[in-house]
Amino acid sequence: MAAARGDLLLMAGGIRSGSLNERLIGCAADIANDLGLRTTRLSLSDYPLPLFGAEALTIDEVPEALALKAMFRSHGGVILASPEHNGSVTAMLKNAIDWMSCPSRGEAPQTYGAFRRKAFGLVSASSSPFGGLRGLSQLRHILTTVQALVVPEQLSVPHAHRAFDARGRLADPMLAGLLADLVRSVMEVARA
Ligand SMILES: Cc1cc2nc3c(=O)[nH]c(=O)nc-3n(C[C@H](O)[C@H](O)[C@H](O)COP(=O)(O)O)c2cc1C
């Protein structure tokens, strides 16, 4: 069944085996499913993209970029979990955003079909005491530039290597509650 405005897309900004951010995405997906939402989980490993700008390619020449952009376009709400690399968003996620920001055949420049007026919620997990917080400020800036509606709620999970219980859920009820608030907020904006 095709995705709809009320459906939620969830994706981590990295593809490391055992990724803490992928685990956090799993928690958000569980919450969304408990709320009765239809969800789609994506992995960037299924969309191997060339390095943006390295070759003179248009998005129409990169089927993986077109496919990823179509997935984002078809959902009203998106939750991204980004690892923090050197205080910023991962190169892999920035690369994917840069590709998806390109107009495809027939689109005017700066149409931003994958982002414009879509609701985005940002989370991060890191073994550090700050949980990847600095990377999310930059991700918010990037997404706002491509005209996404990024909800004010945000969650960074510190010491994330010990934040999940045996069932993969956030062990701290306060963090789990904040994640549920974020999921609800994204879907409220997506449906508005
Ligand atoms: C090159 C590099 C830079 C990193 N920079 C940061 C950083 O600035 N802040 C941070 O909290 N963690 C940093 N880390 C640690 C990762 O964020 C941490 O390993 C995290 O678990 C990665 O996310 P993942 O588990 O979803 O792959 C860095 C790791 C690498 C390899």
User: Structural domain of residue 43, as residue ranges?
Assistant: 8-191
Does residue 113 fall inside a structural domain? yes
> Cβ(161) to ligand 1 under 6 A?
no
The tens-digit pLDDT sequence of the chain (192 residues) is: 677 778 999 999 999 999 999 999 999 999 999 999 999 999 999 999 999 999 889 999 999 999 999 999 999 999 999 999 999 999 999 999 999 999 999 999 999 999 999 999 999 999 999 999 999 999 999 999 999 999 999 999 999 999 999 999 999 999 999 999 999 999 999 999
Output the six-digit token pair for 81: 């979990």
Mutate to test the pocket of ligand 1, among 126, 133, 138, 157 (most ligand atoms within 8 A of CB): 126
Opening angle at CA 102, ends 148 and 67, nearest 5: 90
Report the separation in Å between the CA atom of 89 and the middle of ligand 1, taken as the mean of its atom positions.
10
For residue 5, what pLDDT is reported? 73
Does residue 1 fall inside a structural domain? no
CATH, residue 38: 3.40.50.360
Task: Specify whether the CB–CB gap between 60 and 99 falls below 8 A.
Answer: no
Does residue 170 fall inside a structural domain? yes
**Index of the ligand 1 atom closest to the CA of residue 83:** 23
Does residue 68 fall inside a structural domain? yes
Does residue 81 fall inside a structural domain? yes
The backbone region for 75, taken as left when phi is positive above 0, alpha when psi lies in -120 to 50, beta otherwise, is beta
Does residue 29 fall inside a structural domain? yes
Q: Are strands 119-125 and 149-157 parallel, antiparallel or unpaired?
A: parallel
Does residue 98 fall inside a structural domain? yes
> Cβ(163) to ligand 1 under 6 A?
no
> Cβ(86) to ligand 1 under 6 A?
yes
Report the separation in Å between the CA atom of 18 and the middle of ligand 1, taken as the mean of its atom positions.
13
> Cβ(124) to ligand 1 under 6 A?
no
**Number of separate domains in the chain:** 1
For residue 1, what pLDDT is reported? 65
> Cβ(121) to ligand 1 under 6 A?
no
Does residue 3 fall inside a structural domain? no
No. of helices (H) and no. of strands (E), the chain:
5, 7
Q: Indicate which residue's Cα is closest to atom 31 of ligand 1.
A: 85
Over its C-alpha atoms, the chain yields an Rg (Å, rounded) of 16
Helix, coil or strand: residue 182: helix
Task: Specify whether the CB–CB gap between 36 and 185 falls below 8 A.
Answer: no
